[in-house]
Structure 1
Amino acid sequence: MKKLFLFIALVISQLAMAQMQEGVIDYEFKVNMHKGLGKDQENMKGMIPEFRTSKNRLYFTPTESLYTNIEEDPEEINGNIGGGNVQMRFTRPQMDLYRNFEASKFVTLTDFAGKKFRIEDSLKTSPWKFVDETKKIAGYDCKKATFFNEETKQEVVAWYTEALISPAGPQGFWGLPGLILQADLNDGSTLITASKIELKKLGNEIKVPTGGKKVSNKEFKKIRDDYMKEMGMQPGSAGPRIMIRTN
């Protein structure tokens, strides 16, 4: 009789998990730092590690999601370039990205150029193309979809699972018939992969970001691109910040 009760409890637990469509996903955010260097920065390859890895977290339900950084201490590297002592400090801007799929809107709170912005606008679906390929990620069967991001000039490959019906995903990627568990930008230049998936009933983890200067997505892009042009950087580029101090 005891074994029967245990069996029934196990079946009920498995059925509950099968129906659970909300929870938390931790992602590994891996950037190939060497690919991001220009031809005039080849001498920095000996100082900068080839890969920079950080962590992000996604809270999701079928109707909304919140993607955010997992707090980590900035990484510092000391070295020598051209006979001078150099200290590099890797940091990431704040990023709280909220999406409401029912209302088709998003709110992003981010730091940029020393200022905090709250970007509020409508969600726009990317022109995904479906590919007949599959693979497993974090124990889930995933299907492949791709699109070319005209703004950032990046080829995006996404792997999504239909076992989780939320259209959510990491970073700015969403809109597939299942949750995105991996996003590959420009053939490994940036790779965002689910490392841990916990299905559970969420409380108040998903909150709409507040604070910062409210702007539309179009307004923020102009602010960002104008600043990056002024700094001699490629408009639309993203990733960890590298602060260099020379002694």
Structure 2
Amino acid sequence: MKLLAFFLLPFSLLAQDKLKVEFEKRSYIKLEGNSPQYRQMEEQFSKPSYIQLLGDQNRCSLKTIDRVTNTQGPSVQMTIIGAEKDIETYMDFTKDEKVVSKDVDGKLFLIISKTNPLEWKISRETKKIKGFNTKKATFENEGLGYEVWYSTEIKSKCEPEEFYGLPGLVLEAKLIHLEKPENYTHYQLDQLTMDDTVQFSVPTKGKSVTAEEYATFRKELDKRLQENYGNQGVDRN
């Protein structure tokens, strides 16, 4: 295993090469009101989490990883009723297959679907990220705006989250709520390593459902939560 020297360019991922990539993910929200508790909640939401991506040109395995931090000071412990979390994701673009193990309030689902690449608009804007030349691409759908920077110098179809369909690895991304642009999630490259020992695993935990079946479950759950709790989906302890 060796750490990629970002200054040794150009770099091109060969078919047999395998990558281990880590992204920092931060979510930002703006709550209405002047309560100090709201500011604490906003700060809590913005704390970083990390996504590990294992990939080659056509296969990917993603999961959230834990890191030890030295963060001190008061914090607000929150339970979001109805929250969902992707435990592990596997994609094989040669088979157009995506498998996700997802946790919803302690219930596990195994969702099997297609990769569904997005229809990106490629911009002429460019910038360097950790020594890599990147291009900007955007996409909008159902009130969400996607803004990403990808590098064709890393020929992998793998991306953090669901930013599929670009001819290179996404190194930075922003997912924006268009009606409230101050609410967004930001992803940025933290580490990139060549690792020939990488092995892919296909998730197996959870009740097996199709993407359509899960969407129906999610819609019904959200309806029940709205009826029972209204807008009080966040409990603070």
TM-score, structure 1 length as denominator?
0.75
Q: Secondary structure at the match of 1:168?
A: coil
Answer with 1 or 2: which has the greater Rg: 1
Decide whether aligned partners of structure 1 residues 174 and 76 sit closer, same or farther in structure 2, where only a CA change above 3 A counts.
farther
Contact 1:77 1:88 in 2 (8 A): no
Decide whether aligned partners of structure 1 residues 138 and 221 sit closer, same or farther in structure 2, where only a CA change above 3 A counts.
farther
Q: Is 1:146 equivalent to 2:138 in the alignment?
A: yes
Q: Aligned residue for 1:59?
A: 54
Q: Is 1:88 equivalent to 2:77 in the alignment?
A: yes
Q: Secondary structure at the match of 1:48?
A: helix
- Matches of 2:66 and 2:118 in 1, distance apart? 29
Q: Aligned residue for 1:134?
A: 126
Whichever residue aligns with residue 139 of structure 2, its letter is F
Q: Secondary structure at the match of 1:123?
A: coil
Q: Is 1:176 equivalent to 2:172 in the alignment?
A: no
Give 1:94 shift.
Answer: 4.4
Alignment of 1:1-247 (within 5 A): 18=12, 20=14, 21-34=17-30, 37=31, 39=32, 43=35, 44-50=37-43, 51-72=46-67, 87-89=76-78, 93-150=85-142, 153-186=143-176, 189-204=184-199, 206-232=200-226, 243-245=235-237
Whichever residue aligns with residue 127 of structure 1, its letter is E
Give 1:90 shift.
Answer: 6.9
RMSD, aligned CA: 2.9
Q: Aligned residue for 2:3?
A: none
Segments of 5+ residues of structure 1 without an aligned counterpart are 1-13, 80-86, 234-240
Identity %: 25
Q: Aligned residue for 2:5?
A: none
Contact 1:138 1:195 in 2 (8 A): no
TM-score, structure 2 length as denominator?
0.78
Give 1:218 shift.
Answer: 1.3
Contact 2:116 2:164 in 1 (8 A): no
Whichever residue aligns with residue 125 of structure 2, its letter is E
Give 1:158 shift.
Answer: 1.2
Give 1:123 shift.
Answer: 1.7
- Matches of 2:214 and 2:223 in 1, distance apart? 14
Whichever residue aligns with residue 164 of structure 1, its letter is I
Q: Aligned residue for 1:84?
A: none
Q: Secondary structure at the match of 1:230?
A: helix
Segments of 5+ residues of structure 2 without an aligned counterpart are 1-7, 228-232
- Matches of 1:90 and 1:174 in 2, distance apart? 30
Give 1:226 shift.
Answer: 2.0
Q: Aligned residue for 1:6?
A: none
Aligned length: 210
